[in-house]
A and B are shown apart, each in its own frame.
Chain A
Amino acid sequence: MMPAPILRIENISKRYGKKDVLQGASLEVNKGDLKILIGPSGAGKSTLLQCINFLVKPDEGRIWLDEQEVHYAHKRDLYAYRQKVGMIFQDFNLFDHLNALENVRIGMVKVKGMGKAEAGERAVMELERVGLGDHMQQYPAQLSGGQKQRVSIARALAMDPKVLLLDEPTSALDPELIGEVHAVIRDLGNNGMTMIMATHQIGFARSLASEIIFMEDGRILERGTPDKIFNHAENARTRGFCSKITELYGER
């Protein structure tokens, strides 16, 4: 028997005004999966990820975590659920008034109610895990993009999430800084973290994804193994996008 999916998303729809930004997206994520969302800009990747932890309220659709349906209208359920689903943003969104250590610690202290000392120890551990043991006292304005993104990963991990959502985590980075963030994400994958990630870095996607999901115009057009999507896509739009993006971002 297949194990039940850790996260199940059914028929998520979202419209802004007249525009259907998401039209019935469904997804099942098993423990340890790394699902990669690809698709042109405006396809709805960010909206889908934000709907998954209800930063954007979907108009329709249901979500289950560990077979428990999420009733996001109940604030208490919503806040509890969000703790279990971490989010990494394209532009990091570190808390600007807190140093690296405080950024990682504050969620544990304010949301989980942990003591400052205990949370501080955990924050140190998470920062060391992403290779920032020497930068704990630095403020976001003093960190490079790659370092900021690693702090934000540490901040999410400190909450012990079951699933991590990553919205183009390396798109705002200079090319030479992408590697350090990818290394951290690769490490997480190897340690069994369940992740859904939007990215244009197809070299990375190809080598690590358990499934690639191609989106366009708010729809999931095709999904499959990296080999299937990149080499034997059924849909002409998928093939077109893949060849374009291979040209742009090359083999890495």
Chain B
Amino acid sequence: MEEWLYIQTEVYPALLKGFWVSLELILPSAICGLVIGILVGVLRVYGSRPVMAAANAYVALFRGIPLVVQLFIWYFGLPYIGIYLSPFTAAVLGFALCSGAYHSEYIRGALLSIKRGQMLAAQSLGFHKVQMIFSIILPQAIRLALPGCGNEIIYLIKYSSLAYMITCIELTGQGKILASNSFKYTEVFLMIGACYLVMTSVAALILGRLEDRLRLPGFEHHRI
């Protein structure tokens, strides 16, 4: 009985609050990350040499440094050059940039797999490069990259839990506070794990629906 009361009055409100903060972190990070990933992916394949090099350097940097370290740099490092970000902004910035680096890798692979004939045909109609990329190549590449990008979004949901490290108290942060006050680590973190499982499952469902909606004859993923 006492357990139940504790859950109702302490755990539930705290986790709900944390859950909303998590969602507020994840949604803009996922969207910005995807947009960054598409742009960077395009630049890595079709950019001029210096642009390509810069885009590659971005990916090397943001894939190569642990995300926690990146978050620390945005939150604790930027003030040294006079830029103060809120914990929330620093977290979204860190997530979006990191996620974008990974997305760009999937997009790049998909762009490279589009047959050269598609470009020849577009050029022969008088398309210029940007038009060709955005109306012929990308719509095909995104369909091919979707499973990979979806996977990255699922990852993002989970690594959003790092935000509490820079004092943005989301789901995991709330859990940590609850658990250290009550010493009910197992119970609290089981509940938190279940919350993440719900989020990732819903995301997987939405991504699956999206794949179905974008599916066209000739772009199916064949199952044996």
Contacts and interface: CB of A to CB of B under 8 A. Distances in A.
Contacts of A79: 126-128
B53 to A, nearest CB: 24
Given A110-B135, A140-B218, A94 B121 contact: yes
B123 interface: yes
B124 A82 contact: yes
Chain B interface helix/strand/loop/mixed: helix
Interface in B118-154: 118, 120-128, 131, 135-136, 139-140, 143
Contacts of A107: 125-127
Contacts of B216: 96-97, 139, 141
Most buried by B among A80, A93, A138, A156: A93
Most buried by A among B120, B122, B124, B139: B124
Interface in A30-76: 50, 53, 55, 75
Given A93-B118, A95-B136, A97-B139, A141 B124 contact: no
Interface in B176-224: 216-219
B128 A159 contact: no
A85 B124 CA distance: 8
Interface residues of A, number: 32
A110 B217 CA distance: 23
Nearest to A112: B126
Contacts of B143: 97
Interface string B27-42: 0000000000000000
Interface in A122-167: 138-142, 152, 155-156, 159
Contact of A55 (B120, B139, B140, B217): B120
A19 to B, nearest CB: 20
B117 interface: yes
B140 A96 contact: yes
Contacts of A152: 121
A111 B127 contact: yes
Nearest to A140: B218
B117 A142 contact: no
A83 interface: yes
A142 B218 CA distance: 8
A119 interface: no
B139 A82 contact: no
A214 interface: no
Nearest to B114: A96
Given A97-B216, A111-B131, A139-B216, A83 B125 contact: yes
11 contacts: A79-B128, A86-B124, A87-B121, A92-B117, A94-B121, A111-B126, A111-B131, A139-B216, A155-B121, A155-B125, A156-B124
Interface of A: 50, 53, 55, 75, 79-80, 82-83, 85-87, 89, 91-97, 106-107, 110-111, 138-142, 152, 155-156, 159
